[in-house]
Amino acid sequence: MDFSVVANNFSYFMLGAWPNGPLGGAALTLVLSVVSAIASGVLGLVFGVALAMTRGAAHSVLLMGLGFFRAIPVIMLIFWTYFLLPILFGIDVPGTGTVVVALSLIGGSYLAHSVHAGIASLPPGQWQAAAALGLSRGQALRLVILPQALPIMVPSFINQWVALIKDTSLAYVIGVGELSFVATQVSNREMVYPTEIFLFVALVYYVFCSTLELCANRVAKRFGTAAG
């Protein structure tokens, strides 16, 4: 084992070509993760509430749409967005934007079901009591239901976000210079130490994911004691 290859390329692994070029490496992985996490959270909330508030045909259409994103591999969706986004918007969409859109759609589709389950887990009496107090359905949702349902959903959000950090590595397939892409670049250039390079890269991802998981456990504990 000779980790000098990691030490020699450390700045490239962490930041890519920055500050002389675009941001890349682990920093870009973090940026992709944070932006997609926020977007998937918003999408999940919107579609989850929509699932809870709709009935009949609209509900079925929504379920099918969400089912589509859950049934196809992330790589296929990245291919689709890479191909379709420029056609839809008539502009050149950078690779990073493509990946964020794909990851947000998939993450949002999974989260929508968690949000729906969280809302459905509350007793119907909560809705009825809010209606009896003269609140509209929207007000009941905002003031009564979501404040109780959101803490229940925290663990699913965190799990989904851990999956999201890992999925940012798939940006590799369209040549976005995040950590995995940078790793293969260095590995191809140096030719000699692939074991060390990929062990190091795995360690960086491990630190990102397990830190998030650790925070999640603490948050879950706090909500657990608050509820009990």
Partner 1 sequence: MLDELLAPKYLGWLIEGFGVTLLLSALVSVAATVLGLGLCLARVAQSPLWSWPARAWLSVFRNTPLLVQLFFWYFGASALMPEKLLIWLNTPHVWDLKLFGVRWPSFEYIAGFFGLTLYTAAFIAEEFRSGVRGVPAGQIAAAQALGFTPLQVWLNVVMPQAFRISLPPLLGQYMNAVKNSSLTMAIGLAELSYASRQVETETFKTFQAFGIATTLYILTIIVIELAGQWLQRRKPAPGASH
Q: Does 170 bind partner 1 (CB under 8 A)?
A: yes
The angle, 0 to 180 degrees and rounded to 10, between the axes of the packed helices 194-227 and 179-190 is 160
Q: Minimal CA–CA distance to 5: which of 207, 204, 201?
A: 201
Separation between Cα atoms, residue 183 and residue 228, nearest integer Å: 46
For the CA atoms of the chain, what is the radius of gyration?
21
CB-wise, 12 or 79, nearer to partner 1? Answer: 79
91-130 mask for partner 1 (x: CB under 8 A)?
----------------------------------------
Q: Does 199 bind partner 1 (CB under 8 A)?
A: yes
Size of the site for partner 1 (CB under 8 A): 37
Whether residue 25 contacts residue 16, with contact meaning beta carbons closer than 8 Å, is answered with yes
CB-wise, 127 or 155, nearer to partner 1? Answer: 155
Separation between Cα atoms, residue 100 and residue 96, nearest integer Å: 6
Q: Kindly indicate which of the ranges 7-15, 31-39, 69-77, 125-133 contains the residues binding partner 1, using the contact rule CB under 8 A.
A: 69-77
- Cβ burial, residue 64 (10 Å; 0-12/13-18/19+): exposed
Contacting positions for partner 1 (CB under 8 A): 68, 71-76, 79-80, 83, 162, 165-170, 172-173, 180, 183-184, 187, 192-195, 197-199, 201-202, 205-206, 209-210, 213
